[in-house]
Structure 1
Amino acid sequence: MKALSQLDELNLDAAAKTQVAALVQALLEQANKEAEKYQVDLQAKDLKIQALILELAHLRRIRYGVRNEALSSIQRDLFQEACNEDIAALEAEVEQAEDEHSSSTVTKPKRPRAGRQPLPPHLPRIEHRHEPESCQCGRCGKDLVKIGEDITEQLDVEPAKFFVHRHIRPQYACRPCETITAAPIPPAIIDGGMAAVGLLTWVMVSKYLDHLPLYRLEQIAARDHVILARSTLAEWVGRTGVALQPVADRLIEMLLERGTLHADETPVPQLDPGSGKTKRAYLWAYRSNDLEEGPRIIVFDYRGGRSGEHARQFLGTWQGHLLVDDYGGYKVLFSAARQEASPCIELGCWAHARRKFFDLHKANASSMALEALTRIGKLYAIEQQGKALGIEARQQLRAEQSQPVLDALHQWLTQTRASTANGGGSAKAMDYTLKRWPAMIRYAETGHLPIDNNPVENTIRPIALGKKNWLFAGSERAGQRAAAIQTLLGTAKLNGIDPAAWLRDTLEKLPTWPNSRIDELLPFARPVEDVKTQHDNDG
């Protein structure tokens, strides 16, 4: 090497030259080994980054390539949640690997982030002002002049914070009369109870809206050294449920005054005492029609089974259009004997009809199913056009555009079915629609009837997800109580009202509220701003 050859030019004795040559050789060998190790590490990091990028691309392809109905609604929600978590984790690992890969002497530019929605304006703001260390220029020493501000916002949260309301009631005595006077004890939902309205609201919302079992609330309180026994929490829930029942009953009365209803049901495991097992009960859901005037209402009805008799008992003498799926239990409502007593007219759900063809196309790429999906898609495109229209304008739109599409669809289905063998998936998909054709086309004859049952299915879905947490209902009474609370909180959500703010406001008023003014407490009686303002003032 050149370095070693230059040793001969130095004025060194032979022993010194040999010693220096050995030292230089050792240093060169060590440098070569470190360079080789660096290359190996560099190659390994390159491979790791490539693997992470490939995995990230694969997950994104899966995430954004999922068809709307490839999974059930519950499975799809859980899948997307897990997939999004994995994608975020992989992006972080890629960034970390790239940071380690890049030279420490090179400043890496910040990765551009996608734009985000502004944070809600109603949230309180805590300002943190960050001034430079000096107000003089670091180069010339002259005073700096403010020309603007760079403002960024971060969203923060404060977990449930327990505190104590201390009520002091001075007592005054009249010595001549020998009497004692003190302010009366304020009325409360639970007389003599230690739970304030805010705590009761937290328990009810956590249990019925966030689907947290009471033992988890017990653990949350224990972290703040607050002892809330499950038996105490259960007593609060029971008593609060009784106090709120009249409000839920009034919602049922108002719902049954509507002319069109959605109906659906979901199974709920109920504890079977003595057997150590659970039995199947059902939570029935009845929802108002969004295309009609009036506030939105969702009512849940807990029953011990799925028999159509339960729906008949709930509806009583109700008359109108009922939109349901093809479950046989509803057929009793549309029977001839039922029609004589109280007309209940069936509406078919195009979302269910579409799902039959979707499943068929997914299973074997059926061209017939694809044609059916295309034709049904035209019906939904027309509904999207009429979404913002009034009832009369929507009826005209359906008459001009939906009716021709339906007529052509019926003719095509009839002809195609005639040439299709019985018993197969294609025949079953077409039979579902053809056998219910009168119920399927009724919506298009009006401007106020809905095309499908999706509104009630979307409302009932959070409960179907939430029951994975609380596992089962402890008793039929507990199920009925849950149905009443879900009715109130669900209706508040449908009308854009903060359920927690509404519940707190209602629990404060209920102890002294007259039954004659119960409508004023309903979760749509006041604008959401009023409820939130009242809640903020109380806080």
Structure 2
Amino acid sequence: MLTLLRNRCSPWPGIGARLAPEHAPMGRSTLTDLFHLSASVLLPLSRHLLQCIASAEVVLADETPLHVLDVKKTRLGYLWTFLAQNEKGEWLIGYRFSMGRASTTPKAVLGGTTGALVVDAYTGYNSVTLPEGRVRVGCWAHVRRRFFDALATAPEARQALDLILALYRVEAQAREADVVRTAAHRELRQQHSAPVLAQLRVWLDAQAPQHPPKGPLGGAISYALKQWDALSRFVSDERLPLDNNRSEGALRKAALGRKNFLFVGHEAAGENLAGLYALVATCEANHVNPEEYLADVLLRVQTHPQARIGELLPHEWKRLRAADSS
């Protein structure tokens, strides 16, 4: 029975097929029941994971649509991801499902917290950044994407792309020197990235009057100028990433899921999916085998002291297992 639970509680598609070699046929409804039961049992963990992320100084966030079954059609829901890195450098990845893209979800997860929030230009995050709250940090990958799209009709966009590339080269230099998120990283940015930003700003200001704001290049320039303060904050804070790519990466698994299961059956199913996604994604980010983790934690969580529930999160579970075996 433990083997069956282990194989069914993972949110990734193709679970039923993996049971065939074990000669354990299982109906779809039973698989679904086990999926929801596992999510329910693990709910204290997925909730605590989001709380840990919300308490971090730097949080990354993004969202993606997810279809929800309705009468004769589907409705559009959203899967949100929130990420943070703890003091040990371990990544915590949380998800939240909602039936809309309004600011309700960011506010529910991050409301009342302070620090930095790394996001794109979507205004739905304003509820936790304005007027008081987290400092908004922009994403250079989103900026670069717009200039790249404009390149086909406006070759002059190449200059902006070259300058953005220079910013990323400074980050590569920091990684090679193994000084990421240190004072030396900040010094590198102030010495090399700041002049690049100044050069790019001069170019943007000069090009803006020459291109209609609704055109490809004009739109890219406007997008960058409107976010300039948010895009420049990384220079003075070594903890801030240059982009929000890690959040987008965390949502790629959801995109793969969409291609397999197409939609979730109802809102509660989306919430359960988000909870299980969070635990499995955090396992993978910290080199923890998700099957071994879930098989063990599904049993532990039911008797584990609530005050120490954080010990069962994937990154802490590694240490708990090591202590048990010693």
Q: TM-score, normalised by structure 2?
A: 0.92
Shift of 1:358: 0.4
Q: Is the 8 A contact 1:287 1:299 kept in 2?
A: yes
TM (norm. structure 1) is 0.57
* Partner residue of 1:258 out of 44, 56, 63: 56
Counterpart AA for 1:373: L
Contact 2:311–2:320 (Cα < 8 Å) also in 1: no
Q: 1:223 to 1:422 in 2, by over 3 A?
A: closer
Q: Pick 1 or 2: higher relative contact order, CA cutoff 8 A, min separation 6.
A: 2
1:277, CA displacement in angstroms?
1.0
Q: Which amino acid aligns with 1:525?
A: E
- TM-align CA RMSD: 2.1
Contact 1:498 1:528 in 2 (8 A): no
**Distance in 1 (alpha carbons) for counterparts of 2:111 and 2:320:** 36
State the Cα deviation string for residues 103-141 of structure 1 (Å, max 9, x = none).
Answer: xxxxxxxxxxxxxxxxxxxxxxxxxxxxxxxxxxxxxxx
Report the equivalent of 2:145: 355
Matches within 5 A, 1:307-386: 307-336=102-131, 339=132, 343-361=133-151, 363-364=152-153, 366-386=154-174
Deviation at 1:288, TM superposition (A): 0.8
Q: Secondary structure at the match of 1:512?
A: coil
The reply to whether residue 283 of structure 1 matches residue 88 of structure 2 is no
Counterpart in 2 of 1:27? Answer: none
Residue from 522, 527, 531 that aligns with 2:313: 522
| Consecutive unaligned residues in structure 1, runs of 5 or more | 1-195, 535-539
The reply to whether residue 483 of structure 1 matches residue 274 of structure 2 is yes
Question: Which aligned pairs between 1:459-470 and structure 2 lie closer than 5 A?
Answer: 459-470=250-261
Runs (4 or more) in structure 1 with deviation over 6 Å come to none
Instruction: Please state whether the residue corresponding to 1:346 is helix, strand or coil.
Output: strand
Distance, in Å, in 1 between the alignment partners of 2:271 and 2:214 is 42
Change (3 A) 1:529 1:335: closer
Residue 448 in structure 1 maps to residue 246 in structure 2: no
Partners of 2:62 and 2:320 lie apart in 1 by 32
Q: Which amino acid aligns with 1:348?
A: G
- Report % sequence identity: 34
- State the Cα deviation string for residues 4-49 of structure 1 (Å, max 9, x = none): xxxxxxxxxxxxxxxxxxxxxxxxxxxxxxxxxxxxxxxxxxxxxx
Q: Distance in 1 between matches of 2:213 and 2:279?
A: 47
**1:247 maps to 2:45:** yes
Deviation sequence 1:113-171 (CA, Å, 0-9, x none): xxxxxxxxxxxxxxxxxxxxxxxxxxxxxxxxxxxxxxxxxxxxxxxxxxxxxxxxxxx
Call closer, same or farther: CA 1:280–1:515 in 2, change over 3 Å.
same
The 3 A distance-change label for structure 1 pair 241 and 427 is: same
Change (3 A) 1:403 1:282: same
CA contact (8 A) 1:289 1:449 kept: no
Deviation of the 1:234 alpha carbon: 2.2
Which entry has the higher C-alpha Rg, 1 or 2? 1
1:235 to 1:430, Cα distance in 2 relative to 1, 3 A: same
Query: Is the CA contact (8 Å cut-off) linking 2:174 and 2:185 kept in structure 1?
Result: yes
CA offset at residue 270 of structure 1? 0.3
Separation (CA, whole Å) in 2 of partners of 1:375 and 1:222: 54
